[in-house]
Amino acid sequence: MKKIIGSLAVCAAIVLSALPSISFSQQNQRQAKRDRLHGLGGFTAKGQGQAIVKGDGKIQVDGRGTVVIRASRRDDIDARGFGFRRQDGNLFYFEGRGHIEVKGTNISLDITGDVDELKAAGNGTARLIGVGHFKSARDNGNWIGGGIDVVYGRR
């Protein structure tokens, strides 16, 4: 009986000592979803999931999946690879594997799939969802799940 009570006391102590660290890690996960990372003029990223980049300047992506670009006729779009392409007004749709480079003002690029390399230069924001790694002039690290917001340039 004394051994059982002793074992229960040890188990309770282990559980109680682990509670603060469990709630702390959950708090860190919630905080990571709200973090905004600031870069100086650009950033790079790679991973799987979704990347939504909006801004002025240049956005490049190499990968496989579905890409939607919003750009005006004044903006430049260079797409190589990608088997399926379609245009609807200022929206350009691509599907498959390839490379896309967009230059202009008030442009956006949304890729869902495997991002081998994503580069953005100029001013803008990016939402990175899924799993991956990013690097900017000030910050670098990994994102997972709900994602992270990256602000680059002078915004």
pLDDT tens, residue order, the chain (155 aa):
555 555 544 433 333 333 232 222 223 333 333 344 444 578 999 999 999 999 999 999 999 999 999 999 999 999 999 888 899 999 999 999 999 999 999 999 999 999 999 999 999 999 999 999 998 877 788 989 888 998 888 65
| Rounded distance between C-alpha atoms, residue 134 and residue 10, angstroms | 43
| Rounded distance between C-alpha atoms, residue 140 and residue 107, angstroms | 24
Domain boundaries, the chain: 1-34, 36-152
Give 99's contacts (C-beta < 8 A, 6+ positions apart): 60, 61, 62, 79, 80, 81
pLDDT computed for residue 2 by the predictor: 53
Structure tokens at 129: 């969802």
Q: How many helices (H) and strands (E) does the chain have?
A: 1, 6
